[in-house]
Structure 1
Amino acid sequence: MTVSDQAVELRLPALAITQSPGRVLYQFAVDGKLLDDFATVSRIRRDDESAVQGYQRPESLQHITAIRKYIESDAPMIPNGIVIAFDDRVRFEPSVKSDTYSVPGEIVIPVDVSEAPELRPGWIVDGQQRTAAIRDANVSQFPIPVTAFITANEEEQREQFILVNSTKPLPRSLIYELIPGTTGMLPPSLARRKISAELLDLLNWDSESPFHWRIQTPTNPEGVIKDNSILRMLDNSIIEGYLYNFRDPVDGTGDLEAMATVVNDYWTAVSLVFPGDWNSTPRKSRLVHGAGIVAMGFLMDAMCDRLRDENRLNVDGFLAEVSLIADSCAWSSGEWELASGTKRKWNDFQNTSKDIQILANHVLAAYRNSRRTR
């Protein structure tokens, strides 16, 4: 279906759904390539008197590009529809008489592509990024579900925009736990973490792993180590540390079993050198706190390179190396004596990039100094 340059009426099969007195929704499907012909975005701005007008945020080009690439992939599916507010030029014509809350018929939308965008009968309340992605995608058509309501009141449009977009997003932890079982295309930000999430999953459920049932996830709320701390530690190593050696840089997959062996051997050694600190909680021990997990991950990478060259990349090899820094750590009590000459109470380190870097530098320096004096 195409829309000519002249004014026409676009008639689409639709359902009118009455939710409450005076509140009717219209649901229909339309080729997403046609959305720009009858709907526009009420971009948020301020008028000459500094009053807020419109309600939509600017387009996110990165987000649009990610959606467009997905649409251009094999067998894409976008089940969540676009929400549009129509003015009273749009009408619904029922095909049957019915006393039920759902009535079939046609929605009739006037289309005049010669009109300025702000004069179109529809305003996109939710879905501007998807609309732009479909518009730019190199596909001939892409049908999309639409939920619409009719109102000439911008306040009601803005109200619905706020309600649609202020719902609580999915917890990141839940998303990360779902990723390992996802085989379809993911947004780039999540695709980069897929292998880390798969490795975390393997560590948490392997009965031989020191992390067995210790990583807190939605399905393991009793775990004491935050999943994001583990993911950050694994990300660092997979992206530019020792675990990168087991990753396929082309498709982002990797040898999970080989990665898990290295991680388990290293952290087994850590748990043996610091048993009390390891079998504790983040509040009582910085070893199982985000700062300690990520900092000790950097130490793992440094040790792996040396132990691989010495053919000692196993629990015993790690045990000998981790023992070298035992006297330089204050995971649960006392003070950290830093190279700068400053001292910090054992629990002063927080899960911030700055503190993690300071702690990582400390354990790495302690390791290098101990090897030199051994």
Structure 2
Amino acid sequence: MKSAAEQIVVRALQTKQADGIDVYAFFLYGADLCRIADISRVSREGGDLKGFQRREIRSHVKSIVDFLDSGPVLFPNAIILALSPEIEFKFARGSRPDGMIDVADSGTLTIPVRPEGERVAWIVDGQQRSLALFQTSNTKLPVPVVAFVSDSLETHREQFILVNKARPLPTRLINELLPEVSARLPRDLAVRRLPSELCNILNKNRTSPFHGLIRRESDSPDSAAVVTDTALIEAIRGNLKAPMGALAQYRNGSEGSDTEAMYRALTLYWSAVKDAFPDAWGKHPIESRLMHSAGIRAMGALMDPIMLRADSAASPEEEVRESLRRLAPHCRWTGGAWDQLQWRWNEVQSTGQSISKLTDYLVRLDRELSRRGA
């Protein structure tokens, strides 16, 4: 008989799928997952393919660990395991209430604990989460597990592909949903919530130069909006970065952020942009590269040095407008060619290289013009 130290026993529900394959649902402490399950890394030995899991993504694991360590968290994301037939399930006795949907049996599941490489379970989906659960200080977090019984590597691979082939949620949909979520979020999502909230305000408020111009995932296909929300959100994220971001001064750490002050700063700057380029504002990106994601990102980055300079001016609004008036004759949003960049106006693209090159040019030009004062 195996000792208690060599096995984990949990309450579980059992049902059957496919051709009589046992499927179980149960909960484990996150720290116990790596005691019972191995990660089958994809590799080749002598030309033969082994395993199926990609390598660990350390940055992803760290972001999950940071989230788990941040305090009481809700973590209902199920880990999917493949179990060896060596596991043992014992049915629980008891009456069945009238009208119960009889799709599963309750009982106890016994899982042997073995050394790494000899374990009786393999992680099919959730390896990054499992590694994070092993590293977190939140060791008593109960984690849902769904497991099927099979020692066939072909079946494991098949389920891995089926689980992971699903198309991920579009970034724009996530961005639009974030302001509506009040729960604690992982760091990579948390940093996107405030920019998306500001994007919402800019789109809805009639005093905003962007009123009705921002395309969001929930818009109808025939929407007249011309600015991609992703571009503006990325621009605002840059404005929020300390110490040089134009909006960083309005972030108060644990006390929250002054979104009204951020909105006023964004409105001041982008209203001046709208007035400096009236022929380019509000047009479709095909007709105006100012409304293109590259134009929004580059002009968003330009906001930081212009607003920083304006903060020390007698009239911040006039300084912003004067800066853009100086810049306007050198910009080619709707026709012509950009000086020094060797681009026709419509050759500006939404690639990282193109955005970076345009941003550097505008920032450098603004600096030179502000020094000359003309």
TM-score bin, normalised by smaller chain: 0.7 to 0.9
* Residues 1:61 and 1:325: Cα distance change in structure 2 (over 3 Å): closer
Aligned partner of residue 168 in structure 2, secondary structure? coil
Does 2:289 correspond to 1:286?
yes
Corresponding residue for 1:59? 56
Deviations 1:342-365 (A, max 9, x none): 632111111223322332233334
When structure 1 is superposed on structure 2, of 317-326 and 222-231 the one drifting more is: 317-326
The alpha-carbon distance between structure 1 residues 252 and 40, as it changes in their structure 2 partners (threshold 3 A), is farther
Q: Select the residue among 264, 268, 275 that pairs with 1:265.
A: 268
Q: CA deviation at 1:287?
A: 0.4
Whether the 8 Å contact between 1:17 and 1:101 is mirrored in structure 2 is no
Q: How many pairs are equivalent?
A: 362
User: What are structure 2's unaligned runs of at least 5 residues?
Assistant: none
Matches for 1:216-235 after TM superposition, within 5 Å = 216-220=215-219, 222=223, 223-235=225-237
Cα displacement string for residues 95-142 of structure 1 (whole angstroms, at most 9, x for unaligned residues): 46999761223253341x4x4322222111112222222223224522
SS across alignment from 2:52: coil
Q: How far 1:154 moved relative to its partner? A: 0.8
1:127-142 map, 5 Å: 127-142=126-141
Do the aligned partners of residues 182 and 19 (structure 1) sit closer, same or farther apart at CA in structure 2, a change above 3 Å counting? same
CA distance in 2, matches of 1:201, 1:271: 19
Within a 5 Å distance, the mapping from 1:80-99 to structure 2 comes to 80-95=77-92
Alpha-carbon displacement from aligned partner over 1:249-291 (angstroms, at most 9, x marks no partner): x449422111111111121122122222112011211101121
CA contact (8 A) 2:43 2:50 kept: yes
Q: Which amino acid aligns with 2:328?
A: A
- Percent identical pairs in the alignment equals 32
Task: State the match for 1:242 in structure 2.
Answer: 246
Quote the residue 2:33 is aligned against: 35
The answer (yes or no) to whether the contact 1:90–1:107 under 8 Å persists in 2 is no
- Matched residue, 1:118: 117
Do the aligned partners of 2:37 and 2:120 also contact (CA within 8 Å) in 1? yes
Q: Secondary structure at the match of 1:193?
A: helix
Normalised TM-score (structure 1): 0.87
Matching residue of 1:143? 142
8 Å contact 1:13–1:104 — kept in the other structure?
A: no
Corresponding position of 2:299: 296
Cα drift, residue 229 of structure 1: 1.1
The RMSD of aligned alpha carbons is 2.6
- Structure 1: 5+ residue runs without aligned partners? none
Structure-2-length-normalised TM-score: 0.87
Matched, 1:71 2:68: yes
Q: Distance in 2 between matches of 1:140 and 1:318?
A: 52
Report the Cα distance in structure 1 between the residues aligned to 2:328 and 2:80, rounded to whole angstroms. Answer: 59
Q: Do 2:87 and 2:110's aligned partners in 1 also have CA atoms closer than 8 Å?
A: yes
SS in 1 for 2:15: strand
Contact 2:21 2:149 in 1 (8 A): no
Which residue matches 2:106? 105
Contact 1:328 1:363 in 2 (8 A): no
